[in-house]
Structure 1
Amino acid sequence: MASPRLCPGSRGLLPAPPLLLLLLLLLLVGPRTAAGHGGKYSREKNEPELPPKRESGGEFRMEKLNQLWEKAQRLQLSPVKLSELHADLKMQERDEFAWKKLKAEGLDEDGEKQAKLTRNLSVILAKYGLDGRKDARAVSSNSLSDATEDDSLEDPRLEKLWHKAKTSGKFSSEELDKLWREFQHHQEKVREYHVLLETLSRTEEIQENVISPFDTSRIKEDVLHSKHAELKDRLRGINQGYDRLRRVSHRGYGTQAEFEEPRVIDLWDLAKSANFTEKELESFREELKHFEAKIEKHNHYQKQLEISHQKLKHVESFGDREHVSRNKEKYAMLEEKTKELGYKVRAPGSVWVLLPPLWWLCGLVAPGGVPIAATHPLPRGPALGHPLEPV
């Protein structure tokens, strides 16, 4: 019978298989234990740390828009400005997702729709002071009640007209508020024009320096022509708007004014200059009245939001917990309602979609950046009797 083998260096008899098992266990357990201690050469220490996941319930689905929203809150924009920014960012988000779908289908080969989205975002950044060039707190006042006293107009010509209107004695306080909204609306159009002009200049400079293996000169020419046409239309609208402000500032408001809201006035002036019949104009007038009512409702909630904001700050200074809680609930309700209405009076998918002729007049853009006028040319005899499309 064979004698059992001895392990090398051992002083006693030990079967070989148990020793091998022990060594295997040490090899398996040893590295795992070391890694558990987190040494500097462990996998956990050398692999890059994953970024923290964003908490659910963000305002927007796109991270870059959430970052802009958070930046605006840090800048302490007024509640009204924040609600307007929220509506603009919601529209931008909707258009960006629509563009991604179009791109996946190969419908933006020349990149014009993407460029349109970039220009729109640039306008938003400039409008709310988020482009780093101007403190947003200097763009707008934090109060609605003293807007006519604290806010200033960037254009000296507008400032001169406004001063003349205030001191003329031809306007009541309500009419001065109305006229001020027209001045602000005109100033926003001028700002947007300059942002688009600057964006176009950068685009032309970049395209001149791009070397492409393909002949894309024709596509570039068409794109630039489209952009120049858009700028020309906007400049024409600005000049017409200034002429109107000059007339109103000198003469006052007449008794036959059709509308009061600046955006609706612009649309109505365009409609009257188009080739519409009396019946079509009458139907168009009714649609615009509905639209103006929504804008007025939105303006009302904006004022209530500002009042609630001031009241909440006052209540918080006294520390009455129950009173503060009630005011916070009311403020949150007004904030949500103002955001909702703000989106409705901006979105082409809701109250803006009256009819193809109105799309054409407004120069509106469908989701994805497709100019609606390109697919819906202005008909010579449009039927304007359709009701507003529900949201």
Structure 2
Amino acid sequence: MIKIQQLWEKAKKRLSGTRLADCYAELKVQDKMHYDLKRLKHKDPEKGELKDLGVQEQLQYIMGKYNLGEHPDVKKLNLATKSDQFLNKDLKKLWKNAQYSGFTEEELKILEEEFHHHQKRLDEYDALRDELVRLEKTALNALENEDDLDTARQLYKQKNKETKIKHKQINEGFQSLEKRIYQDESHPHFTDFRVYQLYAMAKKTNMSPNELESFEEELKQFQRRIDKHETLKDMVRQSQSHFDKTVKDGKYPPKHTELEDKANVYDYKVKKYHDELHQRVDKLLFQHTEL
């Protein structure tokens, strides 16, 4: 339906993370209800009119729940999932996990502030390490002057102590963030939107608890394939960055091209597996949703 598609396009601009995936699942169900309503109106106009009110009320409920009206309430808009706002690789990955851990928007906003605070401490730590390197060079240059050398050593000792304290604070802070994000182990932690979207759709089907649990295991396997593909893509980027300095005429060595081929094969496998899972859960969703 055009209306549903328009709402989905709007949702992609206003929502993110689990909210966007859950909204997709509800709109899929709503789309099927509109389709069935159209058939019912053609077959039995009177009965169709009676059902129409309920379908429209459900649509209004979804629009209100996900803030999809014409004029969005800025206070209710979901938090952006720009993991690139964090420079540290581990922090970036942890923030991505936070997006799919069932936190409310308000909780995510508070968490984001804590993540920024942690990134600031990481920046301070990097600055201290740079200062240590500079002091080490100063000490080497002051070998002939005993007073200068003693001063440089004292400064180095002080900065080294500060660096160790900062490193300990960073580790403790990161562990604290991890503990908060992974506190609910009963919730499946999917870090890729495609995986959580499939999970959100599956919850709308008539799967039994055992079937849903089995499907979750398949989704975890799918998540592992995605993680492997992401690792391969990182390796390709690093390899290309390394060989770009020496490669001529765009001809990379076999070691690099083989890595590229492997990443491409995994890309195909991930897309194929996603299509298979999506078709299966989409079929179950279609069969289960009846007016």
- Structure-2-length-normalised TM-score: 0.40
With a CA cutoff of 8 Å and minimum separation of 6, indicate the structure with the bigger relative contact order: 2
Q: Which has the higher helix share?
A: 2
- Structure-1-length-normalised TM-score: 0.32
